[in-house]
Amino acid sequence: MEKPDRGLHHLLGIDSLTDRDIESLIERTLELSNGAPASSASVTTANLFFEPSTRTRVSFELAALRLGMRVINIELEKSSATKGESLEDTVATLAAMGVGCLVIRHPQTGRLQQLAENLHAPIRLLNAGDGQGEHPSQALLDAATLAADGLDWSQATIAIVGDIRHSRVAGSNLKLFDRLGAGRLRIAGPEEMLPDPPGIERVEVCHSIEAAVRDADVIMMLRVQRERMDRAGWPDPDQYHRRWGLNPAHLELARPGCRVMHPGPINRGMEIDGAVADSDQSLILDQVRMSVFARMAIFEWLH
């Protein structure tokens, strides 16, 4: 794989990737998913998650293990973060012990960028989700999943539906799908869950799920990010489902064979019907499968 020639680098967001980086990362993900041998890396990586995670943490761990890397999972509640140590000091400490790579999830938007700007230690940072900012590895694995499924980007209408405002997945995916030349990009969700401004200029903002999914080739559903709202803003799950939940009738409005995606965790009966999530049109588990290969490609690219 072609690697960037710019010394120590990180994966913080989509904007920091060149077109060539994006192309090689997706290409390499697909090669690995088709059984290409992985390169081996004698690097130690650590997972530092300040928010819960199942898919992202486990797939970063599996990806590292498949490359022969050593993996450390830092248990936050047993770490010195509970004694008041700053994130900067934790990172410097891990780097001094020889940890070469740090996968971080943090509730504060932009925290990884800030950390990288003041970093003096030789350690690579991987953004595994920062608040409502970005989740670049999720966007790369989503793009690889669609590429493997044969999506023709220039002809594709992609609709992202749900809590767009608080979603770092939407943040990274809209940027990446735009860079990949998606034909039409739509977002839809309740007024209070729409971003203002919508991030990417050419995004069409739809005010109903029906308008968003009409003739769509890809529908990506997003979870309501309760953890980023105050209690007063939480919608009633049944009401939300009636207005914004994806059901089988919506698939009839989309292009035949339209693909359904969701980064997980899914809330069945809220943003998506169980029957849709489990249908033949769902790529949800394909996304999960691809996540390990995408994260292997990212580790290879970083070293």
Q: Which residues bind ligand ASP (CB under 6 A)?
A: 129, 135, 168-169, 223, 263-264
Question: Please, what is the minimum distance in Å from the beta carbon of residue 170 to ligand ASP?
Answer: 9
- Do residues 184 and 204 touch, judged by C-beta distance below 8 A? yes
Please tell me the distance from the alpha carbon of residue 72 to that of residue 1, in angstroms, as a whole number: 26
Of 45 and 287, which has the nearer Cβ to ligand ASP?
A: 287
Nearer to ligand ASP, 129 or 235 (CB): 129
In whole angstroms, the minimum distance from the beta carbon of 223 to ligand ASP comes to 4
CA distances from 166 to 5, 131, 176, 179, 227 (A): 34, 8, 17, 21, 9
Nearer to ligand ASP, 95 or 176 (CB): 176
Closest CA to 134 of 244, 276, 295, 16: 16
| Contact present, 97 and 115 (Cβ < 8 Å) | no
The nearest distance, CB 234 to ligand ASP, in angstroms, is 15
Of all residues in the shown chain, the one whose CB is closest to ligand ASP is 223
Nearer to ligand ASP, 183 or 274 (CB): 274
Q: How far is the CB of 172 from ligand ASP (least distance, A)?
A: 9
Q: Which residue, 26 or 169, has its beta carbon nearer to ligand ASP? A: 169
184-188 and 157-161: which strand pairing? parallel
**Are 272 and 221 in contact, with CB atoms under 8 Å apart?**
yes
- Measured from the CB of residue 227, what is the shortest distance to ligand ASP in angstroms? 8
Alpha helices in the chain (DSSP H): 19-33, 55-66, 87-96, 111-117, 136-148, 168-179, 209-213, 237-244, 248-253, 274-277, 284-302
